[in-house]
Structure 1
Amino acid sequence: MDVPSTTLFQSLIVFAACALSVWIAGARLAYLADALADRYKLAKSLVGLLLLSLATSLPEVATTLSAAAQQARDLVLNNLFGGIALQTAILAMSDFWSRGPITNYPRKANHALEATLLVLLLSVTLIITNLGETFVVAGVGLGSVAIAVIYGGAIWLLRRYDDSSDWVPVDLPDPDPLAFPAPTGLGRSGNAALIWQAGAACLAILVFGLLLVLFAQRIADQSGLGTGFIGVTLLAAATSLPELTTSIAAVRIGAYTMAISNIFGSNLIMLVLVFPADILFRAGPILQDTSRTVSLALAFGLAVTAIYLTGLIVRRKPRLGEFGLDSILVLLTFLGSLGAYYVAR
């Protein structure tokens, strides 16, 4: 994509405009997904895991594939792995809009299983980055192939487990949705119109997400901060805006399970994107000779996911006001990660 030259200030303005566009499209997508789940009688946790998470991950898809084609290894990996802790922190922020800790709401064990499989995939990725790719075929490392295979198995297991009822929590909060008005016109729109609107929102997220990576690279060069620090902070934050808006919107209308599955599903997708990025990256295996920031991002992703896994299992947890202790710890861990990234940049 041929983009005219800009100053640092102009780059920041365009970056902010693209981020705002992604924000608006993501917010609209949450209401559309909720309406379509009701129309087609789909489980909202399944919609969050398989549909909403994929749609809101389109900026990651666009930025990852674009940066990989431009051979920007640091930007690819720091954007993907840095976004995991950030998106989990987004779920913690949802406690502001929920009635009590959000991890008290799931009725089934599939969310704990999502977190467990995410911990597994993060651990495998961290092992690969530390050991290095020992087997390489056509420039693609065996490690990235293993990540893709494990991801496929995880989705199969989660889909198979979705209807299971062998784990039943007690002392559940009120499941009724919050009183929050739906966007005007959704109730009167037909199914085809809702699908077309959802497609338009996805296209907007994809196009503006692609522009985000271009201007993030430009800001990295113009500011002198480097692609590692920019990728793990600014770019990861901007491309996570759909997850932020969809999660907040889902919680406000009481679709708590869709919000949780959206975040865990998006984090799983960000890991599996390593495989297509490895195919496009022609300078060797993309997980070979990674920076300290990559290992730190994976470690912080493990930490915040483990905290929420504990919160999903421990139903009666301490809380500060409406905030659960798990959400507070996730936010503190994420803030600590920003300092660590700056030191390791």
Structure 2
Amino acid sequence: MAFDSFSIWLNGGIFAVSAIIVWMAGSRLASYVGGIAGQTGIGQAFTGMLLLGGITSLPEIATVTTASWTGNAPLAVNNLLGSAAINILLLAIADAVLGGNALTSIIGKPATLLQGTLGMLLLAAVTVVILAHDIPIAGVGLGSTVLIVLCVSSLWLSSGYERRHVWTAIDDEPDTGDVPGEDDQGEDETEKQPLRTLIIKTAIVGILILGAGFLLSQTGDAIAQQTGLGASLVGLVLVGFATSLPELSSIIAAVRIRRYEMAVGDIFGTNLFNIALIFIADLAYPGGPVLAQAGAFEAVAALVGLVLTGVFVIGLLERKDRTVARMGYDSLATIVLYIAGLVVLYVLDQRSPGSGG
């Protein structure tokens, strides 16, 4: 569908309705996935990474495939790499919603540390592939092929990690991820439902997020173009936030029902799946490896996401319950560094307009 041929008012209406559907679906998704985690014993962090992260990334599949198929490799790459930093920023927003305690201070299991570290390594690998200039092998990029193998390996490494006693607590602090009574509000409703029912409901919500999320991204991009913002960094940021609504709604819902590890796993998982989608973009793009079309702008975008992930990993290691403006110091640092990253990207965008979109 050529959304740029619609009037701005029609696109605005579709955008608003899609945003409402995505928000409502994402809010229910956290509860359903939490129930599945509780009944299967998979673990909150990995379930958040696999299910929440995977489902909230579904709209990106349609968006990236469409952009690549039509020959717009920069849009596909910027969409994926630009969202890495925005997704981490969403954790700071969730931290502010939580209030009271710093988000990273109430996560007592090391699974999120593993996921964050894996995400940093993958973003570093993306930067290396961009700077080394990806080469084609059998119709796809060698670099993107290596990246999807690394993503699958990361999922395998994360699976079952929460059930292995790799770390032992030496203090009496409660593990708020699974303390009885801490998340009863989120468990009572879902644990009474059969696992099959929860899986069906999760699938239905996933379909809603896929369809409405795709409309959200497409109309958002059309509106950015129609208002004259599409060619600027401002347009990329606005559309990036619009397409991050599934993640925002799901992690805020997870935080509200005290599924903190699931919220963090959602974001780390989303970034992992987005990196894997580079391979899908390669398959759809007719002009060679998509990362071969990327440059300094995209490399810095990946590094910004890596740095912000590192800030949260440090927060998870420190677990300091110190807040300012209703959020932890790590969340505040994330916001400051994100703004600084935007300044750097703006300078790069002005020097090489074609590289930034």
Q: Same fold (TM over 0.5)?
A: yes
Per-residue CA distance 1:158-177 (angstroms, 9 max, x = gap): 22533232323546367246
Question: Cα deviation per residue 1:33-74 (whole Å; 9 max; x = unaligned)?
Answer: 112222334311121111111111112222112222222212
The alignment status of 1:204 with 2:205, answered yes or no, reads no
More deviation, 78-87/4-13: 4-13
Pick one of 280, 284, 290 that aligns with 1:280.
284
Shift of the 139–213 alpha-carbon distance from structure 1 to 2, 3 Å rule, reads: farther
Q: Distance in 2 between matches of 1:166 and 1:333?
A: 32
- Cα distance in 2 for partners of 1:227, 1:206 equals 26
* CA deviation vs aligned residue, 1:88-114 (integer Å, no higher than 9, x gap): 111112222434111122333221111
Counterpart Cα distance in 1 of 2:167 and 2:25: 36
Aligned residue number for residue 63 of structure 1: 63
Aligned pairs (5 A) from 1:1-345 = 1=1, 5-98=5-98, 99-133=100-134, 135-169=135-169, 170=171, 172=173, 175=176, 176=179, 186=190, 189-226=193-230, 229=233, 232-316=236-320, 318-320=322-324, 322-343=326-347, 344=349, 345=356
Report Cα offsets for 1:189-225 as digits up to 9, x if no partner: 4433332221111001111122233323423432333
CA contact (8 A) 1:81 1:232 kept: no
User: Equivalents in 2 of 1:32, 1:117: separation in Å?
Assistant: 26
The 2-side partners of 1:204 and 1:139 are apart by 33
The farther-off stretch of 121-130 and 101-110 is 101-110
Kindly indicate whether the alpha-carbon contact (under 8 Å) linking 1:311 and 1:317 is maintained by their aligned counterparts in 2: no
Question: In the aligned structure 1, how far is the partner of 2:213 from the partner of 2:6?
Answer: 18
Q: In the alignment, residue 193 of structure 1 is paired with which amino acid?
A: T
Whether the 8 Å contact between 1:186 and 1:194 is mirrored in structure 2 is yes
Deviates more, 1:218-227 or 1:319-328: 218-227
Q: Is the 8 A contact 1:180 1:252 kept in 2?
A: no
- For these two proteins, the number of residue pairs brought into alignment is 344
Q: Which amino acid aligns with 1:47?
A: T
Q: Which has the higher helix share?
A: 2
Question: Quick one: distance in 2 between partners of 1:213 and 1:318?
Answer: 36
Identity %: 33
Tell me how far 1:323 sits from its aligned partner.
2.1
Gaps of 5+ in 2: 350-355
- The one-letter amino acid of 2:319's match is R
Q: 1:4 to 1:262 in 2, by over 3 A?
A: closer
User: Quick one: which amino acid aligns to residue 71 of structure 1?
Assistant: G
Please give the alpha-carbon distance, in whole angstroms, between the structure 2 residues aligned to 1:292 and 1:9.
36
Amino acid at match of 1:66: T
Calculate the TM-score normalised by the size of structure 1. Answer: 0.90
Name the CA distance, whole Å, in 1 between partners of 2:52 and 2:153: 20
Secondary structure in structure 2 of the residue aligned to 1:203: helix
Q: In 2, Cα distance between the equivalents of 1:106 and 1:300?
A: 24
Cα displacement (A) at 1:309 = 1.3
Unaligned stretches of 5+ residues in structure 1: none
Letter in 1 for 2:334: V
- What is the SS of the residue equivalent to 1:287? helix
Aligned counterparts of 1:243 and 1:339: Cα–Cα separation in 2:
24
Structure 1, 199-208 or 66-75: larger mean CA deviation: 66-75
Separation in 2 of the partners of 1:232 and 1:272? Answer: 21
**How far apart, in 2, do the equivalents of 1:332 and 1:49 lie?**
26
Distance 1:59 1:337 in 2: 25
